[in-house]
Structure 1
């Protein structure tokens, strides 16, 4: 009976999520349709021109990736909510042995999309930072043989395509955008500054500042790019060494966080009478305190393991 109720509850939650998403889509579509119907015929040509300019500007902004922003798709958001709800529901039922309290605990799963978005943002930035290191090595080699900065970026794209066969690789797309802007007559300083503002990475910001200063003052670009690439490479190597050293401790912290939950599960299934006092009266308060302490310990361990160079 409990399993049937759990399945029904999960099904209702999933149905509600899809219903909300579908209503939002319909509402946005209806708003767009009503706005189009309310246009005046007299200024139809003028507004069409303005709309064309807005669409072209929007298409340009969509082609440019803002690495500090990430919008989950409807599928990703739904999956995150369902997985989070099921995990918290199971945890709540394990600690409280009560479907109502388990359902309330499962509502914490609705914050799971926020954590998933943060994780995807961090992963994307790490990939871009590692790819930028390889791009600097290639750019330094191109400039050292006497190529101009513009030709150096074009040659770097060719080298990057050998390292990353996927044409949608972040650094390849960014260097292609920089090259296209240079070909259209835009200063390279502005193109690099735009890339730096969208990337929001310390290494890229430092490189851009040094590059612009060197370009304006007439410094040795080859030497500066070589030193910058070496510094960034050493920094990434230190980060990788720290990650390897902390990997074991991170696994141990996860094991210690799961251990109390496993103990409660073992006692609940093997000796239900022994855990019965914890599922009534003051037992609910004790279990709530235990969950809060476990969550606090997990948060502290994650903060300790997060080491920045």
Structure 2
């Protein structure tokens, strides 16, 4: 299903890539974030390269390799954004349930939920922006309610949001007990979120331990260079030492990638 693009004539002056709803499946760094990433990652990689080789040329080359890790960083930010969206959507579900129970439609439920969600997450909250986007779609497009809801579900890239909207649309189509089914679905989703939160708490300690283990070689190497440079001189001045340093650096990078994947555990 294509992403909806519903705007007034004035808004059509905005570039099309900025007009479409957010694709939560893919995170792309904006210019400001990209500049910060390039500066921070290059400095970090350059510093690590210099610690391992004591060569500005090699350190500069290693610094340039930081660009390859941009994808991993974007994946991390994308997952973080989806997690925040799901937490915020949880509060919207209750608003939809209350609105439907009072005899309103989905558009009215979204409008009534917006004020409470703004207090919780501000105007910049992901769910607040999505509510505005959907209300705008309801007001300005000749589209079915289900198309607008499924557009959000598809862009969210979240199974729980897709499941909730599936249930809502099916109940509306078949004439089922919407209030009862929605509340039952909310309970299932909340139970799942609670279990995931408990697992994350358990895993968090191991993640921290892994980060400490991964960074320790850098700390030790920097400390030895500071207090006893001559002790490490054979590692920098001989071929055997450089080979050992290369093996050590490869192991360090592997450990960092492994830790990063744990942080992005699903």
Q: Aligned pair 1:174/2:130, yes or no? A: yes
Shift of 1:130: 0.6
Residue from 67, 71, 78 that aligns with 1:114: 71
> Normalising by the residue count of structure 2, what TM-score does the alignment of the two structures yield?
0.85
Shift of 1:287: 0.7
Conserved 8 A contact 1:150-1:179: yes
Q: Aligned pair 1:87/2:27, yes or no? A: no
Shift of 1:91: 0.7
Q: Aligned pair 1:266/2:223, yes or no? A: yes
Evaluate the alpha carbon distance shift between residue 220 and residue 114 of structure 1 in structure 2; reply closer, same or farther with a 3 A threshold: same
Q: Aligned pair 1:287/2:226, yes or no? A: no
> Normalising by the residue count of structure 1, what TM-score does the alignment of the two structures yield?
0.74
SS in structure 2 opposite 1:127?
A: helix
Evaluate the alpha carbon distance shift between residue 161 and residue 75 of structure 1 in structure 2; reply closer, same or farther with a 3 A threshold: closer
* 5+ long unaligned stretches in structure 1: 1-51
Q: Distance in 2 between matches of 1:272 and 1:162?
A: 56
The equivalent residue for 2:196 is 239
* 5+ long unaligned stretches in structure 2: 1-8
Evaluate the alpha carbon distance shift between residue 97 and residue 242 of structure 1 in structure 2; reply closer, same or farther with a 3 A threshold: same
Conserved 8 A contact 1:143-1:152: yes
The equivalent residue for 2:95 is 138
SS in structure 1 opposite 2:257?
A: helix
Conserved 8 A contact 2:100-2:179: yes
Evaluate the alpha carbon distance shift between residue 81 and residue 58 of structure 1 in structure 2; reply closer, same or farther with a 3 A threshold: closer
Trace 1:23-172 onto structure 2 (pairs within 5 A): 55=12, 58=15, 62=19, 64-164=21-121, 166-172=122-128
Structure with greater contact order relative to length (CA < 8 Å, sep ≥ 6)? 2
Shift of 1:197: 1.6
Evaluate the alpha carbon distance shift between residue 84 and residue 206 of structure 1 in structure 2; reply closer, same or farther with a 3 A threshold: same
The equivalent residue for 2:3 is none
Conserved 8 A contact 2:123-2:129: yes
Shift of 1:226: 0.9
The equivalent residue for 1:44 is none
Evaluate the alpha carbon distance shift between residue 211 and residue 285 of structure 1 in structure 2; reply closer, same or farther with a 3 A threshold: same
